[in-house]
Amino acid sequence: MQDVLVHHTVLLNEAVDALSVQSGGAYIDGTFGRGGHSRLILSRLGVDGALTVFDKDPLAIATAESLADARVHIRHEGFAHLADLPDACADGLLLDLGVSSPQIDDPQRGFSFRHDGPLDMRMDPTRGQSVAQWLETADIPTLTEVIRDYGEERFAQQIAKAIDRRRQERGPLRTTAELAEVVAGTVKTREPGKDPATRTFQAFRIFINAELEELQQALTASLRVLRPGGRLVVISFHSLEDRIVKQFIAKHTKEVIDRRAPVGAPSASEVLAFRALGRTMPSDAEVAVNPRSRSAVMRVAQRTTAPAPADVRDHASAKGRARKGAGR
């Protein structure tokens, strides 16, 4: 299918402004998508600047390659692989989470209950297991857990049992319409304007792509790859993602005294990884143009000049060992 589907970049100027792009800096776009944020970053970089882009989607990678810009370094992999980058290599990191409009609007990708297509939902359809393949063998407790935890769906067990009955009576679920029909037949009440299948589709997509686990890995890697003064900018689209980002920033903006340091040691012994710079949401004007942006939340933090993250890990493990020893 030709990649002609429209994509509106959410919080485009706000996100790139938050990165505070410097002409000769090095930046990371962890979710290239169709390149909206990356193009604006490049427009603010000089000839000595650099931009590393990550994406799982082959179409996104093809778009990145079409830029033909020597400043762009392309990685066809998820942003969990930020951990593979060198220490203190970036002045800014942008993560625009979730699924893009071209992915949602392409029936062949299987992300949407609004379009009938193969029940796939993989960000990278060339790797891993599709939702349809996973549903062939997933048992009721596993289905219930995924739908409940990743979809925040109160009818999780009923939906899981309905999927199991459907498999036994008519065989495996293969298409998005089949899954949406099962959920609609089970969930009789829903918020006005919201399709009954919304939460289940979200749950299966997040699970099959390990989205929350990858987000946690990328945030942890940001402690190491960002230089002092570097910016972390994360745009999330639902409460599960935003909660992880919010808690991560909160955790690393607290001062932790290294108890191993000598009494009266200078304040440099305090570990302060980030300084929170606030939260932004789309304007009414942006939501009017792109209704899908209405749930977006952008959080920004700045890497401080505190000791290296290894000190944080060492302190945490030492603290854990002390607690374990005290409990014996």
In a domain, 234, yes or no: yes
Considering the domain architecture, whether residues 88 and 227 belong to the same structural domain is answered as yes
Query: Measuring CA to CA, which residue among 211, 208, 228, 207 is closest to residue 219?
Result: 211
pLDDT one-digit tens code per residue, 82-131:
999 999 999 999 999 988 888 888 999 999 988 899 999 999 999 999 99
pLDDT one-digit tens code per residue, 190-248:
777 788 999 999 999 999 999 999 999 999 999 999 999 999 999 999 999 999 999 99
Whether 317 has a pLDDT exceeding 50, the answer reads: no
Looking at 139, 174, 208, which one is the last position of a domain?
208
8 A C-beta contact, residue 112 and residue 201:
yes
In a domain, 261, yes or no: yes
CATH number at residue 243: 3.40.50.150
Task: State what percent of residues in the chain have pLDDT above 90.
Answer: 76
Considering the domain architecture, whether residues 149 and 180 belong to the same structural domain is answered as yes
Whether 156 has a pLDDT exceeding 90, the answer reads: yes
Which pLDDT score is estimated for 250?
A: 94
Task: State what percent of residues in the chain have pLDDT above 70.
Answer: 85
Which pLDDT score is estimated for 282?
A: 93
CATH number at residue 141: 1.10.150.170
Sign of CA dihedral 162, 164, 165, 171: positive
pLDDT one-digit tens code per residue, 50-78:
999 999 999 999 999 999 999 999 999 99
Considering the domain architecture, whether residues 184 and 222 belong to the same structural domain is answered as no
Considering the domain architecture, whether residues 185 and 282 belong to the same structural domain is answered as no
Confidence of residue 292 (pLDDT cuts 50, 70, 90): confident
Considering the domain architecture, whether residues 85 and 230 belong to the same structural domain is answered as yes
In a domain, 298, yes or no: yes
Whether 319 has a pLDDT exceeding 60, the answer reads: no
In a domain, 119, yes or no: no
Tally of domains within the chain: 2
Which residues constitute the domain of residue 289? Answer: 12-101+211-326
Which pLDDT score is estimated for 102?
A: 85
Considering the domain architecture, whether residues 283 and 317 belong to the same structural domain is answered as yes
What average pLDDT does range 308-313 have in this prediction? 45
pTM of the full structure: 0.85
Other CB atoms within 10 A of residue 130 CB = 18
Sign of CA dihedral 287, 21, 299, 236: positive
Whether 159 has a pLDDT exceeding 60, the answer reads: yes
Whether 4 has a pLDDT exceeding 70, the answer reads: no
Separation of first and last alpha carbons in the chain: 62
